[in-house]
Amino acid sequence: MMFLATGHSFRSLYFEFCFGRKTISDIIWETCNVLWFVLKDKVMPQPQKEDWLRIAEENFPNCIGALDGKHVRLVKPELSGSNFFNYKNYCSIVLLALVDTNYCFVTVDVGSYGRTAD
In this prediction, residue 34 carries a pLDDT of 92
Give 16: exposed, middle or buried? Use CB within 10 Å, 0-12, 13-18, 19+.
Answer: exposed
- Choose among 65, 59, 53: nearest CA to 98: 65
- What is the model's pTM? 0.64
Q: How is the chain split into domains, by residue range?
A: 1-43, 47-118
Amino acid at 106: V
Full pLDDT tens readout for the chain, 118 residues: 566 677 777 777 777 778 787 888 888 889 889 998 999 888 888 889 998 888 888 877 778 889 999 888 888 888 888 888 888 889 999 999 999 888 888 888 888 888 887 5
pLDDT for 1 equals 54
How far, in Å, CA of 64 to CA of 61, rounded? Answer: 8
Full DSSP string of 13-73: HHHHH---HHHHHHHHHHHHHHHHHHHHHHHSPPP-HHHHHHHHHHSSTT---EEEEEEEE
The string of pLDDT tens digits covering residues 72-106 is 888 888 888 888 888 888 999 999 999 988 888 88
The per-residue pLDDT for 68 is: 92
